[in-house]
Structure 1
C-alpha cells in the first residue's frame, strides 16, 4: 500500500507533539563568532561573502551521520538547490542548481574532473567530518568543475590533550537480511608541538528494501552500484605540527570498498526489480589512496600564506550491465558475433597530484580592512578506462593545468566590495586509441557500429574569468548582497572519446580525429541577488539566481549521446531558522530551479533541460529540533521533492519522506537513534529515476526509494 501524507498536516502534528513533550529551560541566546568560509580562499565570513554560502557544523549533522544516514542523502535534504540523493554509491543526477558540483576534501579535489564515477561523497569516512561548507553558483577559485558550486568537507585534526573515540552502529529495515553495521575508532594526542590522530572505520550493509517490502536491486541505476551488500574499510593518519608561526597539517589515508551482486537487475519492470538471472560480472569496487599536506604561516611579510600539496590514486570498477533497454549501446564479442562481451565491464583509474599556493595580503595601509588574496594552482591528472581484458574504452589522457588568481576585498562604509580574476590554462594530451566495435539497440532492432580509430594529440584550453560582488550591511541584522561570477570547466572529455562517431558510423575502418570530437570549454555566467537576516530568534537567508552558458553539456540517455549548446538555469533558495522557545528550533530550507536549452541549434532555448540535469524543480525540508532538560535531543524532518512534468521529458512523481533523529548522553558517550522514511512510504526515488530513459518507450527507468529504516548507535570518548 502506498501511504499518502498531507504536507502541512504532518508538519503541524510533528511540531505539536514535540512541543507537548517538551520542558522549557532557562537558557539565554548565545552570541556566536563569525564563521570563516575557507572555501572562499579569502578568509571571508559567511556574513560578508557576496553570494550564497552555507556551513553545516558537525554537531548539526552528527545525529544523522552517527545514526547511519548516508552523507549524500543528508546534504540533499539540508542544502537548498542540491537534488536529493539517488540512493546508490554514485551521485548521478544529484546536481546543484542544475549543474555539476565539485567535491573537495580540505580544499583539495579527491578525483580527476576528466572522467569520474561520482562516488566521492559515498567513500568519505563520516566519523572524520568536522564541518561542511557549500558555496553555490559558478566559481573558479578552486578551478575546473564547479559550475554549479562546490562542497568542501573539512576533516578533523588533533585537538589538545589525549582522547579516544569509539562508536558502533546498527541499522535494519523492516525485512530480514537488511542489517547494516558501522564501527569507527579514533585516537588523538598531542606531544608538545606535534598532534597525532589515527582513524579507522568499517561499514557494511545487507539488502535494501522499498516501502512495499520489495528488495531494491543491487544495480538499479545502470552500472552505478547500489548502497547494499557492501563492505567498506577506511583509515587515515593525521599530523598537526606547530612551531612559532608555522603550522603543518598532513592527512594520509585510504579506503577499500567492495559490493557483491547476486542477481542482475530487471529494468523492464516499474520500478526496476531484482531479476531472475544470476549476476555474472565481477564485484563493484572502489579503492583509493590519498594525501594532503598544508603549511600555513600568518606572519610573513607578504601576508598570511598557505601552501597545499595533495594527491590521490583511485581505482574503480562499475557493475556489469547486460545488453538491453538500460544498456542500449554495448560491446560485442566480435563484429560477426553480436553477443555481449563478458569482459565488457568498465574499470576506471585516475591519478591526481596538485599544489595550491594562497596569500592573503593586508592592504590596511591603503584602506582599513582591505585585503588582496592571490595565488597559483597547478595540477596533473592521468586517466584511463578499460574493460576487464585491458582494452581501452576511452582514450588514455593526461592533463596539466596552471592557474593564477587575485581577489580584492575592500570595505567602503557599510558595503564590502569584492572583485577578482582567474586565468587558467589546461594542456591536454590525448593518446591514440581504437574505440571498440559496438552494437546499438534501437526501436528498429540491432545494428553494428564498427570500431573507430581515434587520433589523439595535444590540445589547449584557456580562459580568463572574473567575479564582482558586494555585500551591504544595511542594518546590524540585515545584509543584502549581489554578485556576478563566472565558472570555467572542461566537460567529461572521456565520454566524448567513448562515444566517438565518424561521419559514416556504419562503415568499417573509419578514422576520426579528437580535434573534431573534443568538447568546448564551458564558461558559466551567474548573476545572483540575496539577503541575510540574523535576529535574536529568527535567522533567514534568501537568494535568486540566473546562470547561462553557450557551451552547456547535455547527456541524452535514450540515444547515449553527449551534446553542447546554449542553456540557462534560473531559480531561488531560502533558509529559515526560528527559535520558537528556549529549547525548540524550527527550520525550513527551500530550493527552486528550472532550465531550458537550445536542442535544435537554432539559437533559441526552446527545450526544457532533461530530468538528469533537473530531477525536481522544487525541494523543501521542514525541521523541528528540541533539546529537553535532561539533554535528550529530538529532531524531526520532513523532506519534499516536487515531481517534474515537462514537454519532451518523462513525468516524475513527487517524493515525501519523514525522518526522526535523536541523541541522549549516556555515561561517557551518547546514544544516537534514527528512523528514516518513518511512515514506510512506497515511492520512486526521483533522482535515480531521472538518470536513464527506455530508448524503446522514451519513458523513465524508474527506481524505488528505500523504505523505513531504523538506526541505533552508541559512541563514547575517554
Structure 2
C-alpha cells in the first residue's frame, strides 16, 4: 500500500514525495489446489493421475503517464488480472523388458483449461477475455542399450484451441508522439474482434548417458520446446502496437481519425519452436560432486520484445551458454559449493537470414552469474547456510548498460520432532545498493534491487 507515486526522472526509480498515491493497494488473492493418485498394481504398469485447479486474482498498482509508463488508460488506469486454470495428467510407466532388461516407457495424456481476463477497477476489459483448451499425448522411453550406455527418447503432441472474445480497448493516452508536436496525445478506443483459433505442434527429444567410470557420466541430448508469446499484451495495446497503427486504427485526438476496429488475428504473434542441444559431464566422488554442461538453442521465430515499436519481433535467434555446479564435503558437518553460469545470444534483426545483433537485455539481463555457498549442520537439528551471490550485468547495448553486483545472504533453520521447521533468512545482509538486472532490462530504466530483506517462516509437514 504505497504512500507515493514513482519518480522516474532521476535515473533510478524513487518515490515522488510531492505526489501522494491515491489508488487502491497492490493485492494478490490466489488459491492453488492439487491432488495425486497412484496405483503400482495397475494392469499396464505403474499409474499416476494428477489434477490441479488454480484461481489467480492480482490487482496491480495505479500508474501515471511517465517516461516508463508511456501508455495509460484515460479514465481508469488500475487493473485486476483474473485467471482460472485447471487440468489433469494421467501417465503410466510400463516395462519394456522385451527390448532389453530394465527398459521402460512413460506414456499418457494431458488436459489443461485456461481462462484469463483483465479488467479496470471499474470493470472494463483491458485485454480480450480468452479461453484456451490444451490436449496433449506423450511418451518417454528409457532403454539400457549396453551396461554403460542408456538411451532416452520421447515425443509429445500438443493441440491448442484458443477462443478470444470481442472487446473494446479503452481510450488511452501516450507521450510517444513528440515527433508530431504532441507532449501527451489521446488515442481513441478500439473494438477488437476475437475469434476461434487452433494450432498444434509435435516436439521430440533424444539423449543418452554413458558411464565413463563408476563415478562419472557423460551425457548429451536434443530437445524441443513449444512456447506462446504473451498474446494478451497485444490486445491491451490494440491499435497502438506500432506508431503506424495509431492513425490507421486508433485515431489521435485533433490529428487523425482511425478505423476504430482491428482483429485479434492481426495482433497475435506466432508460437515459437525452440531446438536445444546439450552436452555435459557429471560425477560423484563421495565427498565431491560436480556437473559441467554446455547448451545451444535455436529458433526460427523468436519472441523478442522491440521497445521501439512496442511489439514482438519474430526472427531467427540463437542462444548459448555454459553452466557448472560443484559441491565438496570439507568437514563432516560442513560443505561448500558453487553454481556458475554464462549465457549469450544473437538474433536476425532485419530478417535477412543472418545473425546481426546480440539479443536485447530484456532477453539476457546478465551475462555471468554465480553463487558461492556453504551448508552447515549443527547439533539439535539446526542448519545454517551462507551465500555470496554475484552477477555481471550486461554491456552489449552501450546505451542501456546494466551493472553487476555482489550480495551476501544467510539463513538458519531448526527442525522439530513434529516435522515442523522454523527458518530465518536474510538476503543482502550488507544492504548493498544495486540495480535489479531483470527488472531494469524489462522496464528499460534503472530499478533498484531490494535492500536488506528479512524473512521468517514456520512450516509443518503432515
Equivalent residue, structure 1, for 2:242: none
Does the Cα contact within 8 Å between 1:608 and 1:648 map onto a contact in 2? no
The CA deviation string for residues 75-115 of structure 1, in whole angstroms up to 9 with x for no partner, is: xxxxxxxxxxxxxxxxxxxxxxxxxxxxxxxxxxxxxxxxx
Match of 1:434 among 168, 173, 181: 168
Cα distance in 1 for partners of 2:119, 2:459 equals 42
Equivalent residue, structure 2, for 1:537: 287
For structure 1, which segment, 550-559 or 706-715, has the greater mean C-alpha deviation from structure 2 after superposition?
706-715
For structure 1, which segment, 594-603 or 668-677, has the greater mean C-alpha deviation from structure 2 after superposition?
668-677
Q: How far 1:665 moved relative to its partner?
A: 6.9
Structure 1 position 409 matched with structure 2 position 142: yes
Q: How far 1:630 moved relative to its partner?
A: 7.0
Equivalent residue, structure 2, for 1:274: 15
Matches within 5 A, 1:514-593: 514-557=264-307, 559-593=309-343
Does the Cα contact within 8 Å between 2:269 and 2:312 map onto a contact in 1? no
Q: Secondary structure at the match of 2:339?
A: strand
Equivalent residue, structure 1, for 2:102: 369
Structure in which a larger fraction of residues adopt strand: 2
Equivalent residue, structure 2, for 1:128: none
Equivalent residue, structure 2, for 1:77: none
Q: Secondary structure at the match of 1:300?
A: coil
Cα RMSD over matched residues?
2.4
| Aligned residue pair count | 443
Q: How far 1:390 moved relative to its partner?
A: 1.6
Q: How far 1:271 moved relative to its partner?
A: 2.1
Equivalent residue, structure 2, for 1:187: none
Structure 1 residues 295, 632: CA separation in 2 closer, same or farther (over 3 Å shift)?
A: closer
Q: How far 1:280 moved relative to its partner?
A: 1.3
Does the Cα contact within 8 Å between 1:659 and 1:676 map onto a contact in 2? yes
Does the Cα contact within 8 Å between 1:557 and 1:691 map onto a contact in 2? no
Cα distance in 2 for partners of 1:717, 1:463 equals 40
Structure 1 residues 470, 517: CA separation in 2 closer, same or farther (over 3 Å shift)?
A: same
Cα distance in 1 for partners of 2:294, 2:336 equals 23
Structure 1 position 290 matched with structure 2 position 63: no
Cα distance in 1 for partners of 2:26, 2:379 equals 47
Structure 1 position 510 matched with structure 2 position 252: no
Does the Cα contact within 8 Å between 1:450 and 1:509 map onto a contact in 2? no
Equivalent residue, structure 2, for 1:680: 431
Does the Cα contact within 8 Å between 1:546 and 1:570 map onto a contact in 2? yes
Match of 1:457 among 189, 192, 195: 195
Cα distance in 2 for partners of 1:615, 1:435 equals 32
The CA deviation string for residues 233-272 of structure 1, in whole angstroms up to 9 with x for no partner, is: xxxxxxxxxxxxxxxxxxxxxxxxxxx2221111222321
Question: TM-score normalised to the size of structure 2?
Answer: 0.89
Does the Cα contact within 8 Å between 1:499 and 1:561 map onto a contact in 2? no
Q: How far 1:440 moved relative to its partner?
A: 2.0
Q: Secondary structure at the match of 2:212?
A: strand
The CA deviation string for residues 543-585 of structure 1, in whole angstroms up to 9 with x for no partner, is: 1001111121122346533332221111011100011222221
Structure 1 position 481 matched with structure 2 position 219: yes
Gap runs ≥5 in structure 1: 1-259, 333-340, 694-700
Matches within 5 A, 1:592-607: 592-607=342-357
Equivalent residue, structure 2, for 1:706: 450
Does the Cα contact within 8 Å between 2:389 and 2:408 map onto a contact in 1? yes
Cα distance in 2 for partners of 1:467, 1:326 equals 41
Q: Secondary structure at the match of 1:690?
A: helix
Equivalent residue, structure 2, for 1:690: 441
Equivalent residue, structure 2, for 1:418: 152
Structure 1 residues 607, 497: CA separation in 2 closer, same or farther (over 3 Å shift)?
A: same
Q: Secondary structure at the match of 1:611?
A: coil
Structure 1 residues 498, 709: CA separation in 2 closer, same or farther (over 3 Å shift)?
A: closer
Structure 1 residues 348, 670: CA separation in 2 closer, same or farther (over 3 Å shift)?
A: closer
Does the Cα contact within 8 Å between 1:624 and 1:637 map onto a contact in 2? yes
Matches within 5 A, 1:387-402: 387-402=120-135
Structure 1 residues 563, 390: CA separation in 2 closer, same or farther (over 3 Å shift)?
A: farther
Cα distance in 2 for partners of 1:345, 1:525 equals 39
Question: TM-score normalised to the size of structure 1?
Answer: 0.59
Does the Cα contact within 8 Å between 2:296 and 2:318 map onto a contact in 1? yes
Q: How far 1:618 moved relative to its partner?
A: 0.7
Q: How far 1:420 moved relative to its partner?
A: 0.9
Q: How far 1:587 moved relative to its partner?
A: 0.3
Match of 1:624 among 374, 380, 385: 374
Cα distance in 2 for partners of 1:376, 1:453 equals 38
Cα distance in 1 for partners of 2:79, 2:273 equals 30
Structure 1 residues 323, 365: CA separation in 2 closer, same or farther (over 3 Å shift)?
A: same
Q: Secondary structure at the match of 1:504?
A: helix
Structure 1 residues 523, 678: CA separation in 2 closer, same or farther (over 3 Å shift)?
A: same
Cα distance in 2 for partners of 1:495, 1:351 equals 18
Equivalent residue, structure 1, for 2:62: 320
Q: How far 1:423 moved relative to its partner?
A: 0.8
Structure 1 residues 475, 289: CA separation in 2 closer, same or farther (over 3 Å shift)?
A: same
Cα distance in 2 for partners of 1:650, 1:534 equals 42
Gap runs ≥5 in structure 2: 240-244, 252-256
Equivalent residue, structure 2, for 1:346: 79
Cα distance in 2 for partners of 1:457, 1:475 equals 58
Structure 1 residues 629, 344: CA separation in 2 closer, same or farther (over 3 Å shift)?
A: closer
Q: How far 1:666 moved relative to its partner?
A: 8.5
Does the Cα contact within 8 Å between 1:362 and 1:369 map onto a contact in 2? yes
Structure having greater relative contact order (Cα 8 Å, sep ≥ 6):
1
Structure 1 position 301 matched with structure 2 position 39: no
Structure 1 position 261 matched with structure 2 position 5: no
Equivalent residue, structure 2, for 1:653: 403
Q: How far 1:643 moved relative to its partner?
A: 2.0
Does the Cα contact within 8 Å between 2:129 and 2:164 map onto a contact in 1? yes
Cα distance in 1 for partners of 2:381, 2:271 equals 53
